[in-house]
Amino acid sequence: MLSFYRKYHKKQVVARALAVCKASKKSTGTFAECQRRAFLSLWLMLHIVFAGLFFGAASVSAQNTAAGTLDLRDWDADSAVPVVGPWQVIRGRLVDPAGFDAAYRGETISFPDRWHDRAENSTDPDWPVGFGAASYRLKLLLPVGGPRQALKLQTPYSSYKIWVNGREVAGNGHPTETPDGFQAFYLERIIPLPAQEEVEIVMTVSNFEHFAGGILRPPIFAAQDRLEQGAKAYDLSYLFVLGAICALLAFQLAYFIRSLSSDAEWSHFWYCILLAVLIVRLTTLTTMPFKLFPAFPHFSTKTLEYLTLFSSTAVYFTFLASMFPKEFPRLVRRLVYAVSLPFVASVVLLPVSFFTQLQDAFIFFALATLLYSQGAILVAWRRKRDGAGAILLFTTLFLFTAVNDSLLYLHSVDVRPSSFPDLMPFGFLFLSVGYAIALGAQSRAVYDRARQLAGDLRQLNKTLDDRVITRTKEANAAKLVAEKSAVEKTNFISAASHDLRQPVHALNLFNQSFQHKAAQDPALSAIAAKQQKLIGSLSEMLETMLDASQLEANTLVADMQKVPLAAFFETMGTTLQLTAAQHDVTLKIVPSGLFVWADPKHLRRVTINLLTNAIKASPGGHVLLGARPRGDTVVLEVWDNGKGIGADDQKLIFDRYVQLSQKKSSGPAGLGLGLSIVADLCKLMDMPIALSSLPGKGTRFQITMQKFTCEGPVGMASEKARPVDARPRRLVILVVDDDRESLEAMVEMFRQWGHAARGVNSYEAALATLEDLGTPDLLITDYRLGPNKTGLDLYVGISSQYPKLKALVVTGATAPEDLRALASSGLDVLHKPLDPVKMRQYLYQRGAAP
């Protein structure tokens, strides 16, 4: 069979050589043609290499003359002979040459002698199968003359000693008849034979570590020079492969680290792991340290060998999956990992005798995984994945080396007693070449795509300038439209606010007079109260619009002072208990003795807004107001158990004119400015506000304020107003307003309060009345007195003539520029619709003045 293969293989080598020669004569220089030539040359080289291995494996048949004797006198000096026996054997004992005859019981054996399927070598039934000791003896009849002969003892899974003609010449580890003192070591040895016609070989062998003890492969008889040259070439080839793989690891690792800054190339990472596994395995296989340093300590490397063996399949599979992820489904990857994990764990956690039993099972699993991987790469090649062709070719070569090593290391099936040496490192070298070619193909594909993209970009740049100019014009036009819309919106709101304030102002004052006159009639008094409630709602909306305008005009300032929360919370409860009762809401206020640094007026506005919203959002529920000390700050909190606010709405809730959808309430709808004003006032007072809410659970607002540490009762001027029922002295008041209804309503209200009031509707009439009336106690004027005159103009015009005249501006103007003008005038200002309580308080202060 071997002769037939050699003849066939020679024909194939010649055919491949002719193909390469023909390909070299072609004149085409395309990248694909260069690749084809490279593949043909490499394929030819591999055929020559493996043909040489096969041709060198020829042997002569040995003649068995008697039990324990092997006749090699017809040996051909250019051949190698496996010394299979028959060997005389003594089971269970280590017997040196002097005691062999006395202990021998007539048993003979032909190598290989595998112990894992027999128990005769064990003297203790509790030892695992494969453990034990044995002694072997064989007499060799050698030819006279010719080159010096030697024996090559191929790596056994045991420790041993060898005697030649009664003299100990070599040994591995420390063989013993019991586990005590046993030391395993695995190293091939070349043993020179003396130039004699008869040579007696005695071997004592023991194993108390590996599952498969004994002599797994027979010694090789050949010329000493040939054996030593072969071993030297083998070691040098391993060193070459080791050096090449170390260089590849350094290059690939640097490439991967560089790719981390952009888009990490994970195939490089897994290839680095694969190379690291191979480097560890190669260091356990090389014999150079022990040849250079004979006294190098003997030790077992099985843990490292099997750890790299059991992990290599999963790493190899992951490497290929990182290159072609669509051809390696996630489910299959997880299955490979799940099967590999118990093998790796057994090496880490269990003794050598256990995990070495798993070797055959793992070999079959690894072969199945490699075959699946090869099929997946074939699919990737058919789908024209970049680099798949090179990977397919070189993984095929790698698969050949993997199959060879699988046959070499199988224990359960003796498929090839004389197989090739461990070729897996060379297979990884083939794989590295394929990976390099694949990277080149992928780089070329990236380069081609980059060139195409560069062309597209050049084409795009030709029209980019025009498109930028066009988009810039469109953006500027849109900006102008947006700014115009914002200005128009502001002007519209200001005008609408002013126009609404005038009739509401008059209606409020007339209703005050109506309430005063209808006090004795319960029916009329109830109607007046209902009207006043509606007027209050309208006034609240207008006040909200005023706040928004003042914030936009930056005319509001924060009068920061010490505020006692005890009195503040009491005021909140008194103010909002009726509103809470109308919505069937339980309003709970937790008392607090803390003091904070705030503007009382703005803080009141903020808190009332939050509590009102909470009450409206929780009909039939609960609302809580309280404060928590937190270091140097105090956190004011408003809780409700309403329907909550969704995550999307929470992003918009503090924007202007935003009203969240809610069930229809009995009161009028707002303007969507409340929480926007709350946020602006909190910013004005430097108080961060936070919102947390869960739909269906409720909402919590938190305002963080600076704590005021000084103790003692502090009054709140804005909250503790003077009693409005106190009667000041009778004042002479001149009212100027160009709106007739507002003018009449204010004059009527002042007269009902007992003051001498007179009203005029223009700037000129006011000047004439002053000449006739003299200096009044108080001038109350509207801001706008016609198209070209204002109340400020009136005061400036008469202030030099009447220097002691006090003036109050009552206006419905809310435009930002009007508010800024009023703020800079220095005059007192009240806004329409006028609050009678505030007006009477103001008159009380003027009347009490000397």
Query: Higher model confidence: residue 303 or residue 621?
Result: 621
For residue range 29-40, list pLDDT tens digits in order.
444 444 444 444
- % residues pLDDT > 70 (the chain): 70
3-state helix, strand, coil in the chain (%, to 5): 55, 15, 30
Query: Higher model confidence: residue 713 or residue 148?
Result: 148
For residue range 214-227, list pLDDT tens digits in order.
887 889 999 999 98
Could you give the maximum distance between any two Cα atoms of the chain, in Å?
160
The whole-angstrom separation of Cα 87 and Cα 71 is 13
Q: Is the pLDDT of residue 161 over 80?
A: yes
* Closest alpha carbon to 66 in 121, 153, 120, 137: 137
Average pLDDT value over all residues in the chain: 76
**Mean predicted confidence (pLDDT) in 720-739:** 67
**Mean predicted confidence (pLDDT) in 300-316:** 82
State residue 484's pLDDT score: 64
Most confident listed range (240-249, 357-366, 757-766): 357-366
The whole-angstrom separation of Cα 617 and Cα 414 is 84
State residue 495's pLDDT score: 57
- The answer to whether residues 62 and 70 touch, using CB atoms and an 8 Å cutoff, is yes
* Closest alpha carbon to 301 in 210, 201, 167: 210
**Mean predicted confidence (pLDDT) in 676-693:** 85
> What's the length of the chain?
850
Residue 636's pLDDT band (cuts 50, 70, 90): very high
Query: Higher model confidence: residue 369 or residue 52?
Result: 369
Lowest-confidence region among 12-21, 599-608, 671-680 = 12-21
Q: Is the pLDDT of residue 21 over 80?
A: no
Cα dihedral sign, 654-658-662-664: positive
For residue range 549-589, list pLDDT tens digits in order.
555 556 567 788 889 999 888 888 888 888 888 889 999 99
- The answer to whether residues 782 and 794 touch, using CB atoms and an 8 Å cutoff, is no
DSSP structure class, residue 128: P
State residue 86's pLDDT score: 92
Query: What are the φ/ψ torsions at residue 171 (nearest 5 degrees)?
Result: -170, 155
- % residues pLDDT > 90 (the chain): 15
- Residue partners of 214: CB distance under 8 A and separation at least 6: 112, 113, 114, 115, 116, 121, 130, 134, 156, 157, 158, 205, 207
Beta bridge partner(s), residue 703: 636, 689
State residue 136's pLDDT score: 95
Query: Higher model confidence: residue 49 or residue 403?
Result: 403
Q: Is 456 exposed, middle or buried (0-12, 13-18, 19+ CB in 10 A)?
A: exposed
Residue 614's pLDDT band (cuts 50, 70, 90): confident
Lowest-confidence region among 30-44, 137-151, 672-686, 736-750 = 30-44
The whole-angstrom separation of Cα 763 and Cα 797 is 10
Query: Higher model confidence: residue 753 or residue 465?
Result: 753
* Six token digits for residue 203: 């071997």
Burial 187-207 (b: 16+ CB within 10 A, else e): bbbbbebeeeeebbbbbbbbb
The whole-angstrom separation of Cα 524 and Cα 503 is 22
Amino acid symbol at 554: N
Kindly list the strands in the beta sheet with 149-153, ordered across the sheet, starting from the edge strand earlier in the chain. 81-82, 220-223, 149-153, 189-192
**Mean predicted confidence (pLDDT) in 673-678:** 72
The whole-angstrom separation of Cα 134 and Cα 205 is 5
Query: What are the φ/ψ torsions at residue 769 (nearest 5 degrees)?
Result: -65, -40
